Amino acid sequence: MNLLHPSSVGAPVALWFSNGMPARLVHAGARYRILDSATPTESGWVFRARTELGREHLFEVHATESGWELVRAD
């Protein structure tokens, strides 16, 4: 089940790295800490992340010319 409104697909996200791996994400004003080892894809990453309030999502993001973009979040 996709928890995001379809208009969120393609939305820009901010992604921070630590030691070459995604460590934090900001999407729609919410800050997430990446919980597990991110899995690289052809053009981005897949990972599970949690907000400060404890909400968790599985994110897929990919690189664009202007930065990072949301592919999906479950």
Residue ranges per domain, the chain?
6-73
Which pLDDT score is estimated for 46? 97
* Whole-prediction pTM: 0.85
Q: Residue 65, class by beta-carbon neighbours within 10 Å (0-12 exposed, 13-18 middle, 19+ buried)?
A: exposed
Which pLDDT score is estimated for 5? 52
Which pLDDT score is estimated for 41? 95
Residues of the chain with pLDDT under 70: 1-7
Which pLDDT score is estimated for 4? 54
How many CB atoms are closer than 10 A to CB 14? Answer: 11
Tracing tokens 């409104």 back to the chain, one arrives at 5
Which pLDDT score is estimated for 15? 96
Sign of the dihedral through C-alpha 56, 48, 57, 62? positive
**Coil, strand or helix at 7:** helix
Alpha carbons 49 and 33: distance in angstroms, whole number = 5
